Amino acid sequence: MRPYVFVLIFFGIFYIIEIVTVIRVLIKNPSPIRRIKITLTINIVIFFSGVLMLAIALLFDINYLRYESPIPYSEWKKISFNDFRGFKRPNQTLDGQQDFAFIVSEFNACRVNDNIIIATYFHPSRSYVFNTDLEDEKLLSHEIYHFHITEYSARLFRQEIKKASKPISDNTLEAMEEKFQIFQDSLQFQYDDQTYHSYLFGKQKSWQSSIDSCLKSLKEYENPIINNN
C-alpha cells in the first residue's frame, strides 16, 4: 500500500475521532462558549493538517527545498545527474525497476513587444534520478535526448511561425502551441516505447542519430526569439 494512503488513513481516523467527539459533546448540549471552542479547534486542526498535506504533496511535484531555476536548452551540455533535484515518489518504479530517471522539459511561447519567444527549458527541481551520485552515461544520455526532443518540437514551432505569411494572433499562437505540445508528447512516448527507456541499445542509438539529424536540419531555428512583424 502506498505511503500516501497511510497518511490519508491517519488523517481520516483523526478527523473521525474529532467529529465523533464533537457529536458526543453537542448531544450533551454544552454551553455556547465551549461549543465555539470545540468548533474552532476542529477548524484549526483541519486547516493545518490540510496545509501540511498540501506542502508534502507539492514537494513530490517540485522540490522547493532545493530549488534550481529552469535551465535553457543552450546549456544542455552542462546538465548532469546532480541537476536532477526532484523527489522520486515513494515506491515509484518504472515497470518494477528501481533504477531509473525522470526528466521534465518543456517549451513555452510568449510575446515580448514585437517578438515571440519559444524557449525550451529543463526543470531540475521537477526531474529526478534514483541515485544522484550515479555515473551512468547511457541513462543520462537517454534523458538528455528527451530534452533534445522538446527542443526539436520547439524548432518546428518556430519554423511554422517564421514561415507564416502574416503576424500570428494570440489565439493562433495558443492553438499552435497546443498542436506542438501534442506532437512532442507523442514523440516522447514513441521514444521511450521504442527504446524501452534505453534498454534497447540499438534502438537508442538509432533514435539519437535521428534526433541529431532533425535538430541539425532545423539549426536556423535554434534562436528562441522570432520577430513577429
Partner 1 sequence: MKKSSSLFFALILTSLFTSSGCGSDPNEGYHIEKRYWDAADYHNALSIIQFRNQGPVKLPCYSIPAQTPIFRKLVDVNNFKVIMEDNELGLDFREKYSQEMFDNCRELSQLYQARDNQDKFIYSKELAEIMNFHKEFQISYFKLGNEKIKKEADDPNAPDVIKIVRLNEQTLVDNYTNNLDFIKYEKGFSDEALAIYVAGVDKYFKQLISDFPDSDYTAMLTKATLMQQKAEATIVKSMLTNLIVLLDKNIKSKVANQSAT
Binder of partner 1 out of 48, 64, 67, 201 (CB under 8 A): 201
CB of 191 to partner 1, least distance (A): 15
Q: Which of the stretches 36-44, 45-53, 111-119, 197-205 binds partner 1 when contact is defined by CB under 8 A?
A: 197-205
The answer to whether residue 90 forms part of the interface with partner 1 (CB under 8 A) is: no
Mapped onto helix, strand or coil, the DSSP state of residue 108 is: strand
Q: Cβ neighbours of residue 63 under 8 Å, at least 6 residues apart?
A: 85, 86, 87, 125, 126
Percent of the chain that is helix, strand, coil (3-state, to 5): 60, 10, 25
The answer to whether residue 138 forms part of the interface with partner 1 (CB under 8 A) is: no
Phi and psi based region of residue 113 (left: phi greater than 0; alpha: psi -120 to 50; beta: remaining): left
User: Dihedral, CA atoms, 171, 173, 176, 181, nearest 10 degrees?
Assistant: -110
Binder of partner 1 out of 131, 196, 210, 223 (CB under 8 A): 196
CB of 190 to partner 1, least distance (A): 15
The answer to whether residue 65 forms part of the interface with partner 1 (CB under 8 A) is: no
The answer to whether residue 110 forms part of the interface with partner 1 (CB under 8 A) is: no
Phi and psi based region of residue 226 (left: phi greater than 0; alpha: psi -120 to 50; beta: remaining): beta
Residues found near partner 1 in the complex (CB under 8 A): 1, 5, 9, 13, 16-17, 20, 24, 93, 95-97, 196, 199-202, 204-205
